Amino acid sequence: MTRTIEAQLLAPQEPVAIVVSRFNELVTNRLLEGAVSTYRRHGLPEDQITVVYVPGSFELPVVAQRLAQSKRYGAIVCLGAVIQGETTHHEYINQQVAAGLQKIALEYGIPVAFGVLTCPTMDHALDRSGGKAGNKGVEAALAAIETRNVLIELSRHEK
């Protein structure tokens, strides 16, 4: 018989960190609201949520790494918005941020959720931060909750 390991979407009762970029604040504030409200709706008291602001999305990995090193947080949600504009600058930012966050998650064994919008226009970013395409801050928080719970379940099965 196949054994299945899956997790509930009830937030573990442990501190989480949300790192949010100030750049494109119109968008990132909405992502932050979505992430915080998701944790609250899924049972985590607000005093267990630490919000850390950084200047831009490029600074998310270094701060997420410091938070992971502290071993105080069960998950880290990173939120930002990189709008394409007229140059290829966004490509360099997006690739490095995604790679940096993934490396931290693998190194420290905790979820480091990628809630960074990579959109061609501000309108697209607004759509994805609470507009007609949903809120990616909500999705990042849900991914962090579920992944953390799966990791907890895996630890129980290892014993």
Residue 82 assigned to a binding site: yes
Pairwise CA distance, residues 133 & 131, whole Å: 6
Catalytic site residues?
89
* CA gap 121, 43 in Å, rounded: 34
22 is known to lie in a ligand binding site: no
Residue 59 marked in a binding site = yes
Question: Residues near 119 by Cβ (< 8 Å), separated by ≥ 6?
Answer: 81, 82, 83, 84, 125, 128
Contacts of 9 (CB under 8 A, 6+ apart): 42, 142, 145, 146, 149
**DSSP alpha helices (H): ranges in 18-80?**
25-41, 60-69
**88 annotated among ligand-binding-site residues:** no
Q: Binding residue per annotation — 153?
A: no
37 known ligand binder: no
- 40 known ligand binder: no
Instruction: Please give the annotated binding residues, written as ranges.
Output: 23, 57-59, 81-83, 86-87, 114, 128
Instruction: Please give the annotated binding residues for 5-amino-6-(D-ribitylamino)uracil, written as ranges.
Output: 23, 57-59, 81-83, 114
Instruction: Please give the annotated binding residues for (2S)-2-hydroxy-3-oxobutyl phosphate, written as ranges.
Output: 86-87, 128
